[in-house]
A and B are shown apart, each in its own frame.
Chain A
Amino acid sequence: MSIITITDSSYSNGRQIAKSAAKRLNYEYADSENILPLVSKEFGVSESKLAQALKDTPSNVGMFSKAKPEHIIFIETLITGYLLKNNIVYYGVVGIPLIQEVSHVLKVNIIANLESRIKNRMKLDNVSQDKARKAVTKEDEQLKKWVEAVYNTDITDPNLYDLVINIGHIKGDDIEDALETIISTVEHKKFQPMTYSLRCMKNVATSCRVRATLAEIDPKMQVKSDEGTIYIYTKAVKKKAQDKVLEMKQKVMRLEGVKHVEVYIDYDLFAKVSHGQ
Chain B
Amino acid sequence: MKEKLEILLLDDEFIVGNRLGPSLEKVGYEVEVFEDPEKALNRIHEKEFDIVVTDIMMPDVNGIQVLEEVRKKSDTTRVIIITGYATVALAREAMDKGAFDMIAKPFKPSELHSVITKAADSLGYKKNIAKA
Which residues of chain A have a CB within 8 Å of any CB of chain B?
100-103, 188-192, 194-197, 199
How many angstroms between the C-alpha atoms of A80 and B7 in the bound complex?
Answer: 36
List the one stretch of B25-33, B46-54, B83-91 in contact with chain A.
Answer: B83-91
A103 contacts B91, C-beta separation under 8 Å: yes
Min C-beta distance of A262 to chain B, whole Å: 16
Is residue B43 contacting chain A, with contact meaning CB distance below 8 A?
Answer: no
Asked whether B92 lies within 8 Å of A196 as measured between CB atoms, the reply is no
Say whether A195 contacts B101, CB under 8 Å: yes
Q: Knowing A194-B101, A195-B102, A196-B102 touch, does A189 contact B95 (C-beta < 8 A)?
A: yes
| Complex alpha-carbon distance, A196 and B91, angstroms | 8
- C-beta contact mask, B66-107 vs A, less than 8 Å → 1, else 0? 000000000000000000001110011101101101111000
Contact residues in B for A190 (Cβ distance below 8 Å) = 91-93, 95-96
Q: Which residues of A contact B111 (CB under 8 A)?
A: 195
A195-B103, A195-B115 given; A101·B95 CB < 8 A: no
Whether B96 and A196, one on each chain, are in contact in the complex, defined by CB atoms closer than 8 angstroms, is no
CB-based nearest B residue for A199: B104
Distance in angstroms from B123 CB to nearest chain A CB is 17
Q: Are B96 and A197 in contact (CB under 8 A)?
A: no
Cβ distance B114 to chain A, nearest Cβ, rounded Å:
8
Q: B104 touching A102 by the CB < 8 A rule?
A: no
Smallest Cβ distance from A69 to chain B, in angstroms?
A: 27
A-B contact pairs, 17 of them (CB 8 A): A101-B87, A103-B88, A103-B95, A189-B98, A190-B93, A191-B95, A194-B99, A195-B102, A195-B103, A195-B104, A195-B115, A196-B91, A196-B101, A196-B102, A196-B103, A197-B88, A197-B91
Contact A100:B103 (CB < 8 A) given known A189-B96, A195-B115: no
Residue of B nearest to A101 (CB): B88
How far in angstroms is the closest Cβ of chain B from A101? Answer: 5
Most chain B beta-carbon neighbours within 10 Å: one of A102, A190, A191: A190
Contact partners of B93 in chain A: CB under 8 A? 190
- Residues in B with CB closer than 8 Å to A194 are 91, 95, 99, 101-102
Contact A103 B115 (CB under 8 A): no
Expressed in whole angstroms, the Cα–Cα distance for A100 and B87 within the complex equals 10
Minimum Cβ distance to chain B for residue A2 (Å): 11
Q: Give the docked Cα–Cα distance between A50 and B64 (Å).
A: 46
Given A101-B87, A194-B102, A195-B103: 15 more A-B contacts, CB < 8 Å: A100-B88, A101-B88, A103-B88, A188-B96, A189-B95, A189-B96, A190-B91, A190-B95, A191-B92, A192-B95, A194-B95, A195-B101, A195-B111, A197-B88, A197-B91
CA distance A103 to B92 in the complex (A): 6
- The docked-state distance in angstroms from the alpha carbon of A191 to that of B101 is 12
Chain A proximity of B17: nearest CB distance (Å): 20
- Chain A residues with CB below 8 A from B115, complex form: 195
